[in-house]
Structure 1
Amino acid sequence: MNDVTPFRPEVLETACEWTARDVADPSRWTEHLSPAEVDELEAAVDHAFGVSDDFLAIGKDQFPLPTLGARLKAIERELMDGRGFVLIRGLPRERWSNDEMSMAYWGVGAHLGRPWPQNAKGHLLGDVTDHGKAKDDPTARGNEIGLVGLDFHCDGSDLVGLMCLRTGISGGRSAVCNSVALHNRLVRERPDLAAELYKPQPFDYRGEQAPGKPGWYLMPIFTRHGDRLFIRLIRPYVLASQRHKDAPRLTKKAIAALTWMQEMAEGGDYSVIMDFQPGDMQFINNYHVLHGREPYEDDRATGQIRHLKRLWLETDVLADRPKIFTNHMGKHWAKKPTISRMDAAT
């Protein structure tokens, strides 16, 4: 006789749920910088460059924001305990260089959290643009693949930030989706599938594992910690893990649950699309919000090449978290932290 009670997941963090209708009005999630705040940012950029042109030497203290800093802390709290995404608009892209834009973005990021390495190169500030890698390249990561759309997914940190340096000639709109609402609906309708995603699933390392280590790692899609929900969903990486013969095989229930999440995310009931303008900064709570993008076109002859800068950040709002969501700065990705200064237009 089997006396083991099957695990039954619970609905979590309903205050962070939203639907497409709830966020249809862009004014609800767009923060416009005032002229005085832009002046404050410009002064902070000048101050930071006066300290050092090495971004790694610039932290919150070296990027003073005496008034905007308080507003950013409120945004950080909303990201972690509320809607989970924001668009900050108003950086003067028309008169700032790439380095000035990047420093402003780096400084804003420093007021929201600490940088997290994004890849095996140790990039703390990365580039999202066409790196010339094909979508079917088993080592390609999402930020390196150009032109095609990207499925809804999470990144590997508390917060992910994107800042638009340049748009292409068409397309490339960003999309965000409320994964808390998806989790809770799955729990209500198919608790058996939700329970399967609480079990560790294999993820492909995309060729960036430590020397001598497997090309995959295990991590649950859903994790409960106290009353908080943590989500790590990168469906293409989970499916790609199956190319490794030593990786655990995905169960039929896991595949069905991943398919349900993908179809529900793409259905439009829990997502919103935003059109980046040069100078826009988007920040997302990776645990509560998925992000993706539409396909786009570039024109290299005219230099109209879609180019975003990316930050992964660790926030102080989370006083406690599961060990698997800790920023392991000692791991091989962080041995040589660096800043990517790629110019996609050259």
Structure 2
Amino acid sequence: MTNRTPLTGPSVWTGDEIKNSKRWIRDFPASGTATLDAALAAVNKAGLEWSQITRKDFPLSGLHGLLADIADELENGVGIMKLRGFPVDRYDENDLRKIYFGLGTHLGTPVFQNRSGELMRAIRDEGAHVGRTYGETKDQKGTTFLSSYARTLTNGGLRFHTDRTDVVGLLCVRQAMKGGVSTLASTPAIHNAILAKRPDLLDALFTDYWRSRFGEEGTGKDGAGSDGVGTTKATAYPLPIFGVRDGKFTSHYSLTFIEAAQLAPDVPKLTPAQKEAIDVLMATAQELCFEMTLEPGDLQLINSHVTYHGRTPFEDEASSGHDRLLLRLWLTMANNRPLPQGHEILWRNIEAGQPRGGIQQVAI
């Protein structure tokens, strides 16, 4: 066993501590609406679609201080932020996408969320076809196994996980009639809790866990759906769940990708210690998390390196305007942290302050 020590700093928090803190909450200023309106008018006059907008196209004078504060808190503070009062009811969905994307270019740089070039994803229940469209296979028992991407687009719950990006932005446009509660946990706090009770299992979390790309990127013809998510085994890669470099912690974790790799006969199987470490990891995340219901106009921002996120199942009622809709951006940040050697397999660039993350694009 290596000589590991507790992590320190504001990114180490428990659910009870963070839910009683205002450090991670900001209010969108009333004066900011006029700024958004002016920027929207400029891009509409230029005839730009939302995906064509650059920071230069979308001037946000007056909001730079707020956005710089948010970016700093995400990287050097608690690692989560909620910007309240974003004027989502003021715009139709197309203009709202332009405003949200334009704002995102001032926080970071949007990166691709799938290999077909998607830069913004509407997170909603898309119905029973998601497996056929976005990726599914069968496990050893013949049960349908949905890709991680497909699971996001159902009304089911999502287990604690991270996304392949420095920061995830979720703008709540509409909330469900029931459920859809966001769950958040500090991964440095999880690290410390496991160190205190099971240091042997903490060591296991620093070893390689094989994950399947499940066709999300790669050049093989693997039964890809229209989204590019494969329905058969795709390439797999090894990566630890926990890592530290230069005092900066990172965790990349999705149990779905690990489970998908275990379905393949030629991928190394999890050791007993690794299996137990996952169980303890998930239980500890649940113990230390807090729940937050996003209201329309809330923008949730999550540093993936130090935060797990999930959600509870939800029920829509479209007739009353309660059909859940979140708009998601993946952002690479100019102030991002260094990552450990070996993480290039996922992030491509592991040096601080460099663009990285997202899904690599594949020529068809």
Q: TM-score, normalised by structure 2?
A: 0.83
User: Which of 14-23 and 251-260 deviates more?
Assistant: 14-23
Moved more, 121-130 or 52-61: 52-61
2:103 maps to which of 103, 108, 121: 108
Compare 217-226 and 11-20 and name the one that shifted more.
11-20
Q: 49-58 vs 234-243, which deviates more? A: 49-58
Q: Deviations over 1:310-346 (max 9, x none)?
A: 111111112643452346879973358xxxxxxxxxx
Q: Mark the CA change 1:29 to 1:15 in structure 2 (over 3 Å): closer, same or farther.
A: closer
Q: Is the 8 A contact 2:209 2:238 kept in 1?
A: yes
Q: Indicate which of 333, 338, 344 corresponds to 2:360.
A: 333
- Name the residue aligned to 2:182: 174
Pick one of 162, 171, 184 that aligns with 2:170.
162
2:332 aligned with 1:305, yes or no? no
1:177–1:53 CA distance, 2 compared to 1 (3 A): same
Residue 225 of structure 2 corresponds to: none
* Match status 1:316 vs 2:334: yes
Distance 2:213 2:286 in 1: 25
Alpha-carbon RMSD: 2.4
2:12 to 3, 7, 17: 17
1:207 shift after superposition: 2.8
**Cross-structure match for 1:72:** 67
Note the alpha carbon deviations across 1:41-69, whole angstroms, 9 max, x for none.
Answer: 22222223333422332122221111212
Question: Which is worse superposed, 8-17 or 30-39?
Answer: 8-17
Matched, 1:85 2:80: yes
DSSP-derived class of the 1:61 partner: coil
Q: 1:171–1:13: structure 2 CA closer, same or farther, 3 Å change rule?
A: same
| Aligned pair partner of 2:309 in 281, 287, 291 | 291
Does residue 265 (structure 1) correspond to residue 285 (structure 2)? The answer is yes
Name the CA distance, whole Å, in 2 between partners of 1:142 and 1:90: 30
Maintained 8 Å contact 1:16/1:84: yes
* Matched residue, 2:228: none
CA contact (8 A) 1:174 1:274 kept: yes
Amino acid at match of 1:88: L
User: CA 1:112 to 1:169, structure 2 compared with 1: closer, same or farther past 3 Å?
Assistant: same
Q: Distance in 2 between matches of 1:239 and 1:199?
A: 16
Is 2:209 the counterpart of 1:191? no
Judged with a 3 Å threshold, the aligned counterparts in structure 2 of structure 1 residues 101 and 281 are, in CA distance, closer, same or farther, namely same
Closer/same/farther in 2, CA of residues 145 and 57 from structure 1, 3 Å limit:
closer
Q: Distance in 1 between matches of 2:6 and 2:28?
A: 36
Deviation at 1:284, TM superposition (A): 0.4
- Give, in angstroms, the shift of residue 12 of structure 1: 2.7
| Unaligned ranges ≥5, structure 2 | 137-143, 223-233, 350-354
> In the TM superposition, what whole-angstrom CA distance separates every residue of 1:276-318 from its partner, at most 9, and x where no partner exists?
1222211000010111111110134556321111111111112
The code of the aligned residue for 1:42 comes to D
- Preserved CA contact (<8 Å) 1:149 1:295: yes
Tell me whether 1:279 sits opposite 2:279 in the alignment. Answer: no
For 1:259 and 1:117, locate their aligned partners in 2 and report how far apart those are by CA, in whole Å.
31
- Could you say what secondary structure the match of 1:38 adopts? helix
In the other structure, the counterpart of 1:339 is none
Give the whole-Å Cα distance in 2 for the aligned partners of 1:211 and 1:182: 36
**Mapped partners of 2:210, 2:245: distance in 1:** 21
Aligned-partner Cα distance in 1 for 2:62–2:147 = 43
Q: Does 1:47 pair with 2:42?
A: yes
Between the two proteins, the alignment pairs up a number of residues equal to 329
